[in-house]
């Protein structure tokens, strides 16, 4: 369940990226398949068993000149970054003025990749870190609302073997139905944000 709402909200934003696109913390490059044919894609990550970077590096010191990219994608990375605003400023630096950033961050999720899991974000936290880093016109969308969040936490417990696993699909159906009835989006499994790199440096 966790990925279905995220994929649904994220896909059109990834498909809208153009030109030279940097995927920061690309992991296994799961969203490269959605990039347009004309996109020149570069995936950056640290080396590791779960990453397939074209360029090895970290978001704190991106090995690119100012304004090198038209678009930047970074999915489920900033919760692992000690100084998210500084890292986003570095993203802004390598984007051309007017370039687009697309990021996703978890709202509700247990600690993972411990101890390198530092933050959970609210909608307003995402808007704040983007603004502080020099991005404008941010739009933040919930991927999975209140009931998806509750249902996913229940399912994680089920999958740990504490309850009957047959209940997982039932929980998913109930959570989706409840969210569709207009549940609060102030609690979300993940946030998908887009913004524009301002003309001025932050």
Ligand X SMILES: C[S@@+](CC[C@H](N)C(=O)[O-])C[C@H]1O[C@@H](n2cnc3c(N)ncnc32)[C@H](O)[C@@H]1O
Task: Name beta bridge partners: 190.
Answer: 106, 143
98 binds ligand X (CB under 6 A): no
Q: Of the candidates 10, 77, 105, 140, which one interacts with ligand X according to CB under 6 A?
A: 77
Q: How does strand 40-45 pair with strand 20-24? A: parallel
Q: How far is the CB of 116 from ligand X (least distance, A)?
A: 7
- Using a 10 angstrom Cβ sphere, with 0-12 exposed, 13-18 middle and 19 or more buried, the burial of residue 96 is middle
Measured distance CA(115)–CA(76) in Å, rounded: 15
Q: How far is the CB of 92 from ligand X (least distance, A)?
A: 15
Q: Of the candidates 3, 12, 30, 184, which one interacts with ligand X according to CB under 6 A?
A: 30
42 binds ligand X (CB under 6 A): no
User: Nearer to ligand X by C-beta: 14 or 183?
Assistant: 14
Measured distance CA(43)–CA(29) in Å, rounded: 7
Q: Of the candidates 1, 26, 92, 141, which one interacts with ligand X according to CB under 6 A?
A: 26
Q: Which residues contact 64 (CB under 8 A, 6 or more apart)?
A: 22, 94
Which parts of this chain interact with ligand X (CB under 6 A)?
A: 25-27, 30, 45-46, 48, 50-51, 58-60, 75-77, 80-81
């Amino acid at each position: 369940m966790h990925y279905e709402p995220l994929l649904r909200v994220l896909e059109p934003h990834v498909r809208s990226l153009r030109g030279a696109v940097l995927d920061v913390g690309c992991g296994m490059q799961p969203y490269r398949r959605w990039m347009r044919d004309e996109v020149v894609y570069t995936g950056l990550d640290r080396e590791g068993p779960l990453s397939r970077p074209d360029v090895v590096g970290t978001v704190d010191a991106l090995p690119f000149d100012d304004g090198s990219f038209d678009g930047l994608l970074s999915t489920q990375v900033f919760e692992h970054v000690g100084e998210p605003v500084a890292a986003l400023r570095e993203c802004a630096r390598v984007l051309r003025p007017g370039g687009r950033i697309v990021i996703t961050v978890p709202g509700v999720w247990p600690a993972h990749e411990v101890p390198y899991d530092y933050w959970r974000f609210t909608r307003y936290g995402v808007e704040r870190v983007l603004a502080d880093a020099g991005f404008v016109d941010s739009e933040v969308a919930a991927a999975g609302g209140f009931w998806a969040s509750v249902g996913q936490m229940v399912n994680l417990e089920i999958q740990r073997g504490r309850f009957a696993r047959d209940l997982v699909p039932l929980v998913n159906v109930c959570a989706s139905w409840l969210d569709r009835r207009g549940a609060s989006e102030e609690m979300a499994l993940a946030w998908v944000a887009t913004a524009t790199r301002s003309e001025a440096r932050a």
